[in-house]
Amino acid sequence: MSATAKIKRPPRVGDNPLFRTILIAVVLVVTALFIVAPLAVIGFHAFSQGWQLYAATIAHPDTVHAIMLTVVTALIAVPINTAFGVAAAWAITKFDFPGRRLLLVVIEIPFSISPIVAGVAYLFVYGLQGLFGEMLADADIKILFALPGIVLASMFVTAPFVARELIPLMQAQGRDLEEAATSLGASGWRTFFSVTLPNIRWAMLYGVVLCNARVMGEFGAVSVVSGNIRGQTNTLPLHIELLYHDYQTAGSFAAASILALLAVVTLAAKVALERRGAGRRPALAAPVAVLTENAK
């Protein structure tokens, strides 16, 4: 047989032009029905009664307070969960200790529990009749039906996002780089900022984006612990529900458009950062080379 003879390869799934066309068409139709159509409906109904009603709804004090409360909650919950995710991923992947596998399971718990159940659990812990209720009341500390309860509930449901993005990556990277940096005399913080962080920053960023989107859109757990007090403890998703139940359909869609806009801005920031190199992880040996040069 000639060396230039073509090697017959088995057919792959999708090689058939008809199958490929049908598959792409199905994906486009499903995307249009379940993603594009709802967003288009939100935009249509938000402006269905004119710009004046839209502007009045957005400028209403209750809507402004709901937006600000949602942003403040994200500004508190996301950095804390980011620090927790990095610390948990670092501990699980870089060290051996008793309970390591148990910690990995515990981190996944928020994904297996309904957010409403999590909110009720907080009631039994921090509520007036809860485990710490009387102690908190005596100290005049208010957790539930206030900002701390909203932040705690949001942190619970979003706790795994950063850790789940980092753990597989850090497991694949192994411990060689950190051990090399330590052998060169780098401290723990120096090792983290010069070796670990450069190799995980884009995965961490992706986890932060997911965490932020979930915090801003969280409804179930927050609805239980917030008390649904209009103009005080209503986040934007809760405010949208109140407007809808008050038969202010256009107003509810106007508020929903702000939540959709926040999600789009978050995704646009992710795409912009990816274009600056987010998709290209640095060479794993680079940080060690830097430490080597500094050690000379």
Q: Please give the Cα distance from 263 to 278 (Å, whole number).
A: 19
pLDDT at 248: 84
Q: Please give the Cα distance from 229 to 213 (Å, whole number).
A: 23
Mean pLDDT estimate for the chain: 82
DSSP-based three-state secondary structure for 205 = helix
Distance of CA 74 to the CA centre of its chain: 10
Q: CATH number for 50-295: choose from 1.10.287.3510, 1.10.3720.10, 3.40.50.11540, 3.40.50.460.
A: 1.10.3720.10
pLDDT at 70: 92
What residue ranges of the chain have pLDDT lower than 50? Answer: 1, 278-296
Q: Please give the Cα distance from 70 to 136 (Å, whole number).
A: 25
Q: Please give the Cα distance from 260 to 139 (Å, whole number).
A: 40
CB burial of 78-112 (b: ≥16 within 10 Å; e: otherwise) equals beebbebbbebbbebbbeeeeeeeeeeeebeebee
Q: What angle do CA 146, 152, 153 make, to 5 degrees?
A: 90
pLDDT at 6: 55
pLDDT at 292: 42
Domain ranges across the chain: 15-46, 50-295
Q: Is 296 exposed, middle or buried (0-12, 13-18, 19+ CB in 10 A)?
A: exposed
